[in-house]
Amino acid sequence: MSFYISRHAEEELERREIPREFLDSVLQNPQQIAEDRDGKKAYQSQFVFENGKTYLVRAIVADITKPAIVLTVYRTSQIARYWRQV
C-alpha cells in the first residue's frame, strides 16, 4: 500500500523527535492496526528509542483514499492504553 504523508504528520515527526524510519516501518509492517475514530485506522508498533525506553508509535491513517493519507503520528509510553490483545 502506498501512503501520502501530510504536512502535519511531517511536522509532528520532527517536533516529537520520531525517526522517519520508525514511521516507514509502522506503515509497511505494523505490529497492529487498530480501529480509530471516524473510520480511521491507527497503524502501531513498539520501538526502543535512544533513551532506552520503549514507546508505541501510532500513525493515524485515512486509508479509504488511494494513496492512504497519514494524518498524524505520535509516540506514547502508555502502551497498555492502545495495545490490543489478540
pLDDT digits (tens, 9 = 90+) for 31-54: 999 999 898 999 999 999 999 999
Which pLDDT score is estimated for 84? 85
pTM to 2 decimal places:
0.92
Give yes or no for residue 59 having a pLDDT over 70: yes
Is residue 75, in this structure, part of any structural domain at all? yes
Question: Using 50, 70 and 90 to split pLDDT, how confident is the model at 86?
Answer: low
Number of Cβ atoms within 10 Å of the Cβ of 57: 24
Is residue 85, in this structure, part of any structural domain at all? no
Q: Measured between alpha carbons, how far is 43 from 61 in angstroms, rounded to an integer?
A: 7
Is residue 20, in this structure, part of any structural domain at all? yes
Strands 32-35 and 54-62: unpaired
Domain that holds residue 45: 3-80
Domain count within the chain:
1
